[in-house]
Structure 1
Amino acid sequence: MSYIPLDERSVAPFLATVPAVALRLGGAPEGWQVREVGDGNLNLVFLVSGPDGGVAAKQALPYVRLVGESWPLPLSRAYYERLALADEALHAPARVPALVHHDDGMALTVMDLLAPHRTLRGALVEGERYPLMAGHLAEFLADTLFFTSDMAVPVAEKKARIAAYLGNTAMCRITEDLIFDEPFFDAPMNHHTPGLADIVAAFRADVPLRLAAQGMKARFLAAPEALLHGDLHTGSVMVTADDTKVIDAEFAFYGPIGFDVGMILANLWMGYLAQPGQRPHAAIDPWLLDQAEALWEGFAERFAGHWRALSPEGDHGSLHALALTDAALREAAIEERLAAIWQDALGFAGCEMIRRIVGLAHIADFETIVDEGRRADCERRALLIARALLVERAAFPDVGAVTDALRLEAVAA
């Protein structure tokens, strides 16, 4: 079928023609409830409920929804999202929604309806807590990243999987431009809160900072270590008190492991730094700092555990080969690999924090702060931390060092 954008009137009749979807929903399409909830930057998202169940139907648009038709974008991103969803489900099935149907021609992916889940970012802005979230995200990261890496996957298979994602160039280009380049010059779509003009100008003239950002871009471009989600922030996570699901994998590609880790840590850290503006008369809650620590530590422990559990007889990745019969070498390799991932995560986190404040796509954590002065103050503190994470990474040997720096910034607010 040729591509036709769906809307709230046409999506139910279309889905009724897909047997697997119609069976899941039950009843007649005239009785299905449809709601379009695509509040992201790129796509249409329809929540469809029938008497027997529900689905989420996500359709790519041929342009960036946030900007409009002046920024065209290939529909093939829906194919790569479906591919990533299937690959993630092989390694972390409990942490992603189940795939129900995919239509390449319509750039449409139909998944389980996540209910009563809500977006993690919105919940955190409201001060909600989800005690299992950090552990679940550590599980998702460790399982999807380790089991698609050169530690676990034989060389020929790994190269074939890299090749399967090479065509997702348009989505990678968005990351390259919006995260590593445009925040550091006067790009047309950049914008920032009034009161930040001085620090924005300083960042654009800051050679060590800009070099560090370009260094992270070089890692992003040339380190196909594992299958990345590619856009892992708190808006790409759906939660309940008991469950956590990761969605929106259309940016998926093979890249540096620290990218996904750094992205989600940055968003937790920004959520913490936004608190003085969101709730100016309340005590600053350290819970998000605790969650960031738990996420990193849980990821590192699980990642290391996967490596230790590889059998000497199995056909694993080439980075595991030298340690097959040498436990001491294996432990040294684990320590070295995690240290490198941590250093990458710091740099990528710094880039993410900067772009969310001075680039195109801002976040509700700061944008919901009504008082512009308070918002600018919170964002300035985040920018200063972000610069340190990029330029002074040696000052943060572990996640606790970042926590200490964030606490000092928040107290100063």
Structure 2
Amino acid sequence: MPDQYRILKEPDLRAYLSALPEVSGKLGGVPADWTITEVGDGNLNLVFIIKGSTGGIAVKQALPYVRLVGESWPLPLSRSHYEYLALVHQARLAPSLVPDVLHHNEALALVAMELLEPHIIMRRGLVAGTIYPRFIDDITTFLAQTLFFSSDLAMPAAAKKEGIAAFAGNHALCKITEDLIFTDPYRVAEQNRWTSPWLDATAAAFREDLDVHVAISRLKLKFLASPEALIHGDLHTGSIMVTERETRVIDPEFAFYGPMGFDIGAVIGNLLMSYLASAGHERAPGERHAFETWVLETVEKVWTEFSRKFLKLWRSEAKGDAYPPTLFAGGKGAERLETERQAYMARLFADTVGFAAAKTIRRILGLAHNIDFEWIEDEKMRALCEARSLHLARDMLVNTASYAAIGAVTRAAREARDWQPNFAR
């Protein structure tokens, strides 16, 4: 049955891996002595850690349904193939920033990859108040390299269109994003939940707020219709594994050609949520001040360093069909092209601000919440942190034009940290 899908249990997985020399050799020892632990804490898949006498690996197998919900929500297994393609692409463009792929079986919807140890999920570290000195440089390199080199700025049009076609079949995962991020939090939806009763009025207000509905619909249209680059598609702090010296991006099964600001906004939105959730994890007033200062500095530098690296690539590696050099020859042409680059980055920043807001709202009013908030034991305090995040996110979403630079975002986040909703006054 090697080419027939079945959900692998421990004995099946042990037998399957033992027949793969590239895997069994890495694990070492006798297969019967390998330890196999299922550790998947995400919403969609099975994840196994396998350890032998000389090494370890991680194995991810897609389920034919959403794990968080169950068999009532079917999903195609093909998402595992798109994840594999994305990992290979990212490894080529951003080496050492994604796990190495050791084996892929499309029929089994299975990927075996490097075991990341002692890395932890970044979101868990942020909840604990841990500072990660390498993160800014690593994540901005990942974003700049993967986004620029899959864009029309770097790729000939034919190659770009072939790339779009290669990922076009990942529409079921895109549909999840389209519904859960851009639609469901703003209407009555069975899967929605929030910290009740404190956020009941806020959730109702979002369902009636037509300014919000217009703004989120514009972002949804951009997500639907702007294949700017191959994006990760789910780049939150739960899809990043870290140590203080290393960063690895994981789980790109939502990958497709979409708007670049969606990936950048996902990183920034999750950092803002970490900042505004931090008060709920304090054991003593002010004890997390240094961490919170670092988070906001990181928000600013994620954008500024990404922008710097992206523009550097554009100036030196622009081999795509966009902005033909023959149209910008000479001194005046070069000056005008540089002006256009700055305008391009301003548009991308506006997209980033909007998508950061959308990612925040969905994590509080929709399905699949963040442990940043969920692990705050005092429910009213949790609601207070979430209300502050929603207050900030709504303004970023509706008044995006007032956020002309990343400093405006962090200033607004500091103000939101002290904002008091009606239930807390």
TM-score band, normalised by the shorter chain? over 0.9
For 1:346, the equivalent position in structure 2 comes to 353
Partner of 1:233: 236
Partner of 2:203: 200
Q: CA deviation at 1:276?
A: 1.2
Asked if residue 182 in structure 1 is aligned to residue 184 in structure 2, the reply is yes
Compute the TM-score of the two structures, normalised by the length of structure 2. Answer: 0.94
Q: Distance in 1 between matches of 2:210 and 2:129?
A: 38
Which of 260, 264, 282 is matched with 2:263 structurally? 260
Partners of 2:58 and 2:115 within 8 A in 1: yes
Deviation per residue, 1:363-387 (Å, 9 max, x gap): 0000001111111111011001111
**Which residue pairs with 1:134 in the alignment?**
136
What amino acid does structure 1 have at the position aligned with 2:37?
R
Question: Could you tell me the TM-score, scaled by structure 1's length?
Answer: 0.97
**SS across alignment from 2:68:** coil
Instruction: Answer yes or no: is 1:249 the counterpart of 2:252.
Output: yes
Identify the residue that residue 170 of structure 1 maps to in structure 2. 172
User: Which SS does the other structure have where 1:235 is aligned?
Assistant: coil
CA contact (8 A) 2:237 2:270 kept: yes
Structure 1 residue aligned with 2:379: 372
Q: Distance in 2 between matches of 1:61 and 1:294?
A: 37
State the distance in 1 between where 2:324 and 2:279 align: 46
| Separation in 1, partners of 2:415, 2:222 | 30
Mapping of residues 324-343 of structure 1, within 5 Å: 326-343=333-350
The number of equivalent residue pairs is: 410
Which structure 2 residues correspond to residues 68-87 of structure 1 after superposition, within 5 A? 68-87=70-89
CA–CA separation in structure 2 for the residues paired with 1:238 and 1:289? 20
Instruction: Give how far 1:333 is off.
Output: 2.2
> CA 1:53–1:317 in 2, change beyond 3 Å: closer, same or farther?
farther
CA shift for structure 1 position 253: 0.1
Amino-acid identity (%): 48
Q: Does the CA contact (< 8 Å) of 1:150 and 1:319 recur in 2?
A: no
Superposed CA offset, 1:173-223 (max 9, x none): 000000000000110010000110011111100001011001000000000
Partner of 2:423: none
Q: Distance in 2 between matches of 1:212 and 1:333?
A: 25
Matched ranges for 1:143-154 at <5 A:
143-154=145-156
Cα distance between partner residues in 2 of 1:123 and 1:210: 34
Q: How far is the alpha carbon of 1:303 from its aligned partner?
A: 0.1
Residue number in structure 2 paired with 1:125:
127
Compared with structure 1, are the counterparts of its residues 280 and 116 closer, same or farther at alpha carbon in structure 2 (3 Å cutoff)? closer
Indicate conservation of the 8 Å contact 2:266/2:356, yes or no.
yes
Q: Distance in 2 between matches of 1:175 and 1:56?
A: 26
Task: Decide whether aligned partners of structure 1 residues 189 and 353 sit closer, same or farther in structure 2, where only a CA change above 3 A counts.
Answer: same
Gaps of 5+ in 1: none
Q: Is the 8 A contact 1:356 1:363 kept in 2?
A: yes
Distance 1:366 1:320, change over 3 A: farther
Deviations 1:81-103 (A, max 9, x none): 00111111111011111111000
- Deviation (angstroms), 1:319: 3.2
Q: What residue number does 2:295 align with?
A: 288
Question: How far off is 1:46 after superposition?
Answer: 0.5
For residues 257-289 of structure 1, the C-alpha deviation after alignment (integer angstroms, 9 at most, x for no partner) is 100000110000000000111116331422111
8 Å contact kept, 1:236–1:247: yes
Residue 398 of structure 1 and its aligned partner are, at CA, apart by 0.8
Preserved contact between residue 151 and residue 320 of structure 1 (Cα < 8 Å): no
SS of aligned partner of 1:308: helix
Give yes or no for contact 1:232–1:264 (8 Å, CA) kept in 2. Answer: yes
Call closer, same or farther: CA 1:86–1:246 in 2, change over 3 Å.
Answer: same
Q: Which residue of 2 aligns with 1:307?
A: 314
CA contact 1:351–1:386 (8 Å) conserved in 2? yes
The superposition leaves residues 115-152 of structure 1 with CA deviations (integer Å, 9 ceiling, x where unpaired) of: 11110000100111111112111110000000000100
Task: Classify the secondary structure of the residue corresponding to 1:102.
Answer: strand
The residue number in structure 2 matching 1:21 is 23
Kept after mapping to 2: 8 A contact 1:8/1:46: no
Q: Distance in 2 between matches of 1:147 and 1:341?
A: 16
Deviations 1:215-244 (A, max 9, x none): 000000000000000000000000011110
Mapped pair 1:318 → 2:322: yes
Measured on the aligned residues, the alpha-carbon RMSD in Å equals 1.2
- Does the C-alpha gap of structure 1 residues 259 and 324 become closer, same or farther in structure 2, counting only changes over 3 Å? farther
Match of 1:38 in 2: 40
Greater displacement, 3-12 / 185-194 = 3-12
- SS of match in other structure, 1:213: helix
Contact between 1:152 and 1:320, CA under 8 Å: does it hold in 2?
A: no
Structure 1 stretches of 4+ with a deviation exceeding 3 A read 319-326
**Residue 324 (structure 1) shift:** 6.1
Q: Deviations over 1:65-118 (max 9, x none)?
A: 000000000000000000111111111011111111000010000111111111
Q: In the alignment, is the contact (CA less than 8 A) between 1:47 and 1:56 conserved in 2?
A: yes
- Contact 2:230-2:255 within 8 A present in 1 as well: yes
**Which letter maps to 2:265?**
G
What is the CA deviation profile of residues 321-361 of structure 1, one whole-angstrom value per residue up to 9, with x for unaligned ones?
44465321331122111111110011111111100001011
Separation (CA, whole Å) in 1 of partners of 2:255 and 2:268? 18
Q: Which runs of 5+ in 2 are unaligned?
A: 421-425
| Kept in 1: contact 2:140–2:305 (CA 8 A) | yes
Between the aligned partners of 1:324 and 1:48, the Cα distance in structure 2 is 57
- Whole-Å separation in 2 of the counterparts to 1:186 and 1:201: 9
